[in-house]
Amino acid sequence: MRFLRLCVLSLVLLAFVVPLVAAQDNSGAGLTIGFAQVGSESAWRTAFTDAVKAEAESRGINLLFSDGQQKQENQIAALRSFIAQGVDAIILAPIVETGWDEVLTEAKENGIPVIIVDRNVTADPSLWVTRVSSDFVHEGRLAAAWLVQATAGKCNIVELKGTVGSSAALDREKGFNEVIALFPDMHIILSESGDFTRTNGKEVMESFLKAVDPSTICAVWAHNDDMLIGAIQAMKEAGLDPANDILTISVDAIPDIFKAMMDGDANATVELSPNMGGPAFDAVVATLNGEVLPKWIPVAGGIYFPDTAAEEYAKRGGS
């Protein structure tokens, strides 16, 4: 009889307690999280900021947002201010790779976990929990592989690089160069940073078009869509027909590049998803719950061409 009672009691406990435990809230509601963003240099960056803010709001997270305005010193000051305010965690989208050890050590000493998003840092891995990001090297390889097949392995390329010292620029360059090195007639003839902005992309492309005979340029490889959109403007102003006279390949997959494809001005873009807020907040909650996370949480992306541009443009909120 006693045994039967025990069994019934266990079943009752299972029925009521287990669902309570299972329903544990992993949204991060009530947490205060500091987010140090790079700036607003590109349409992709703005979409990423908006996505993180929307995700925080939907989860009931109190997000302290800082726009670094493309300056590492602003980001370091933001991190120090988050530490002083005693936030539960910090999300850092670093502008450049180096120079983070000191401030990350301060966060660690104060028991504040740091999640890296998007670009990478060279700081000791013990100073940060995990990185939520795409694979920039793969993006570069994908861009080069498309260009190789589009040109049968023979092309003089001009390159618009991203921000100097940023892992997005360094790794995309590495991946692209790795692939074209396999083809003796694929050459980068001019290369300069356009700092991931539309204005600089246009200026640098204008200087390229003056530096060499434009008819010798086969393609422009831009580390982001914004610089390419600037370059498209420069080509048009120089009387060229972008995507026909000079092929284009870039990264991000923002609505404006799909518009450019629809207008016949761009050939291909490699996607960088701006939706990293969800996995970053999940990582914060997991680490605060004592879980051990992998050092990299990958975010996938594809490559897109004019055939689906109208569809992608509509899907991504182009208007």
| Distance of alpha carbon 109 from the chain centroid | 28
Percent of the chain that is helix, strand, coil (3-state, to 5): 50, 20, 35
CB-based burial label for 69 (10 Å; 0-12, 13-18, 19+): middle
Q: Given candidates 55, 88, 97, 118, which one binds ligand AHR under the rule CB under 6 A?
A: 118
- Between 108 and 138, CB nearer to ligand AHR: 138
Q: Given candidates 83, 92, 157, 168, which one binds ligand AHR under the rule CB under 6 A?
A: 168
How far apart (Å, rounded) are the C-alpha atoms in residues 128 and 124? 8
The distance of closest approach from Cβ of residue 119 to ligand AHR in the complex, given in angstroms and rounded to an integer, is 5
Degrees (nearest 5) of the Cα angle 180, 207, 95? 65
- Between 44 and 208, CB nearer to ligand AHR: 44
Taking alpha carbons only, the member of 265, 266, 234, 233 closest to residue 250 is 266
**Does 202 contact ligand AHR by CB under 6 A?**
no
Interface mask toward ligand AHR for 5-44; x: CB under 6 A: ------------------------------------xx-x
- Reduce the DSSP state of residue 291 to 3 states and report it: coil
Interface mask toward ligand AHR for 55-84; x: CB under 6 A: ------------------------------
**Does 107 contact ligand AHR by CB under 6 A?**
no
**Does 251 contact ligand AHR by CB under 6 A?**
yes
| Encoded tokens for 172 | 């995309």
Binding site for ligand AHR (CB under 6 A): 41-42, 44-45, 118-119, 168, 196, 224, 226, 251-252, 272
